[in-house]
Amino acid sequence: MKKLTLFFLALLACGLAFQACDNTKTYAEMLEEEKDAIKAFIRDSSITVISQTEFYRNDSTTDRSKNEYVQLASGVYMQIVDKGSENPADTVKANDQVLVRFMEYSLIDKAVTLSNLAYAEVVDEFNYRVTSSSIAGQFTQGFMYTYYGTSVPAGWLVPLAYVRDGAHVKLIVPSKMGHNSAMQQVYPYYYDIRKYQIYR
């Protein structure tokens, strides 16, 4: 009996030792880290955050001279650098192919993690899908497709309601609106999307 008790005590001590060495973060801690990273980026980049009400009052535009970003209901922060085409009909429609030039910057790692801006021969392409209840995008080629798979980050689709062909936007995309890797790691990203080009 004494040996059995010692065995269980040794087992308990080992279990506690392993648990004490566990450096993994809880989901709540990762969300807090994400929130802090977004706040720090906004502060360090001297971004002025405006509400959706102000954004709509200003004809769905952001003032670049004030470095304005609108915080949308989805949690995405967006600056419209250039709305794109002057023709109101040049909007993205269901089943359109969209070509994108972009730079991705991790707010946690504080580094550029992916970009096709330096590669004239590389363009990321996705198909835009619309159903009665949702919108989605599916990459068909490019760096995002290679590194993260076919699903377009939901945050990339948000600006399409406000811009037209050839638009340039900057985004802060929280993990829940990001690609699969961002969601798994709870990583927010900043994107400079230089061009949404509709290819029909």
Cβ-based burial of 9 (10 A; exposed 0-12, middle 13-18, buried ≥19): exposed
Q: May I ask the CATH architecture of the domain 27-199?
A: Roll (3.10)
Position 112 pLDDT exceeds 70 = yes
Per-residue pLDDT tens for 32-81?
999 999 999 999 999 999 999 999 999 999 999 999 999 999 999 999 99
Residue 17, pLDDT > 70, answer no
What pLDDT was estimated at residue 8?
52
> Using one digit for the tens of pLDDT, what is the confidence trace for 137-164?
999 999 999 999 999 999 999 999 999 9
Instruction: Give the whole-angstrom CA distance, residue 45 versus residue 47.
Output: 5
What is the 3-state composition of the chain as percent helix, strand, coil, each rounded to the nearest 5?
35, 30, 35
